[in-house]
Structure 1
Amino acid sequence: MKDYSLLHQANVIIHVFAGSIALIAGLVSILTKKGGKNHRKAGLIFLSFLAVVVLTGLVGVFVFGRNIFLLVITMLSAYLGFSGYRVLKSKSNKLHLIDIVVALATLITMCYFMYYLKSIGFIWSPVIIYSTVGYLLLMVAYDFIRYLIPANTYGNLWIYEHILKMISAFSGILSAFTGTVLPQYHPFSQFLPSVLGTIVAIGFMIYVYNKRKVNTFT
């Protein structure tokens, strides 16, 4: 049992360390020039440590039986980070098998989460549960629907997808962090970072849209 506890503590330390690095790298990526060297490098660091956060989070839930609500926060950030990176690489809405597999795996995880909640009762704030699960399902549904958009109509929507998904992945990690270290302010410490992230993402999307519009007419 002692070894088991030590393994759990080690997993927690790695999880917290990776999450902290991911937050710092994500913030640098958001604040630096988009498309620049620092932005790309920070973005890759963010995604790399996000992967570690996801892995240690899954170990914490399924091996050590920790707070299963962290599973949905982890899956939200993981899926949005993955999808945001994939759309940047393809710059299109062309269908790829790996994207379908990951989306379906995410949906299955969410079904498990909701089944589990139903079996034990809703012990967390409904606003957190429904908003988190709802947003993730909305993004997965969009990712399926976007394959039906004609290529000439889809155009440069990938830019706005990338912005929204990557900032949402960052704000998801931030929500998990503030919700953990500031439990006395629940549910606000859990959902306000996500609200702020959405506002920031919309602001960036409007900025990019206006900039591209100006460049089109100059």
Structure 2
Amino acid sequence: MELLSILHKSNIILHVSAGSLALLTGIFILLFKKQGRIHRQSGRLFLILLGIVIFTGLLGVFVFKRNSFLLVITVLSGYMGFSGFRAIRNKSNIPQAIDIVMALLALASVSFFIFYFNAIGMIWSPVIIYSTVGYLLMAVGYDLGRYLLSTKTYGQLWLYEHILKMVSAFSGLLSAFAGTVLPQYQPYSQFLPSVLGSLIAIAFMANYWRRLKRNKLIIKQKGN
């Protein structure tokens, strides 16, 4: 029993440490240049840390019996991080087995968590439930539906997809962190970081759209 307690505490320390480092890495990525080797390496580090957060979170629920709906937010963050990475790596909507499997696994995971947490009688905030599950359903629906788009059309969307998903991964992690550290302010401590993330993603996408439009205008003027 004492050994289990030590392992549980060690798992918590690893979970919190990885989550904190992931947040710091995410802030660094958001604040500094979005291109080049440093950005790519920082992105990989963020995904590795996010993977540790998810793994230790799963251990907390299923091995150490720590019941927390915040884990669903973490799973959402993990899926968005994975899918966002795949978007910039592939830059194509050609169907790949791993992407389809992960999308279906994300749906199955959330369905299981909803059933599991409901069965143990947790008190839920409807705002968090509907927004988290709804956003994941929307993301997976897009991921499966993008295969219906033409290659040319998707070629104009993949970078926007990457931006939105990676910022969503960060804001999802921030929501889980804030919800844990500031439980007295729930659901706002969980919901507001997601709103902030959405605004940041929109700002980055709008900036990229303006730069792309400006570059096209410059090219057109040079051609004339």
TM-score (norm. length: structure 1): 0.97
Question: 1:18-167 counterparts in 2 under 5 A?
Answer: 18-121=18-121, 123-167=123-167
Cα distance between partner residues in 2 of 1:146 and 1:87: 11
Question: Any unmatched runs of 5+ in structure 1?
Answer: none
Quote the RMSD (CA, aligned, Å): 1.1
| Mapped partners of 2:106, 2:81: distance in 1 | 13
SS in 1 for 2:33: coil
Tell me, in whole angstroms, the C-alpha distance in 1 between the residues paired with 2:105 and 2:190.
25
Q: Distance in 2 between matches of 1:176 and 1:70?
A: 5
- 102-111 or 31-40, larger mean C-alpha shift: 31-40
| 2:197 counterpart SS class | helix
Q: SS at the partner of 1:58?
A: helix
Counterpart contact for 1:30–1:39, Cα < 8 Å: no
Q: Which runs of 4+ in 1 moved over 6 A?
A: none
Contact 2:11 2:60 (C-alpha < 8 Å) held by counterparts: yes
| Matched residue, 2:197 | 197
The structural deviation recorded for 1:122 is 5.6
Q: Is the 8 A contact 1:178 1:189 kept in 2?
A: yes
Q: Do the aligned residues in 1 keep the contact of 2:171 with 2:194 (CA within 8 Å)?
A: yes
In the aligned structure 1, how far is the partner of 2:55 from the partner of 2:67?
15
| AA at the equivalent of 1:94 | I
1:15 to partner: Cα distance: 0.3
8 A contact 1:32–1:38 mirrored in 2: no
Identity %: 59
CA deviations 1:186-210 (Å, max 9, x no partner) are: 1110110010000000010010011
- Structure 1 residue 119: Cα displacement: 2.8
Letter in 2 for 1:156: Q
- Structure 2 CA distance for aligned equivalents of residues 182 and 68 of structure 1: 14
Query: Which one-letter code corresponds to 2:213 in the other structure?
Result: K
Code of the aligned partner of 2:55: L
Could you tell me how far 1:113 is from its partner in structure 2? 1.6
Which of structures 1 and 2 has the bigger CA Rg? Answer: 2
Contact 1:91 1:158 in 2 (8 A): yes
**Equivalent position amino acid for 1:91 in 2:** K
1:70-116 alpha-carbon deviations (Å, 9 max, x no partner): 32112101100000000110011111000011111111111112222
The code of the aligned residue for 2:125 comes to S
The answer to which of 64-73 and 193-202 deviates more is 64-73
Q: Residues 168 and 194 of structure 1 are in contact (CA less than 8 Å); yes or no, is this contact kept in structure 2?
A: yes
Shift of 1:11: 0.3
Q: Whole-Å Cα distance in 2 between the matches of residues 120 and 13 of structure 1?
A: 26
Q: What's the CA shift string for 1:22-62, capped at 9, x where partnerless?
A: 00111111111111232222111111111111110111111
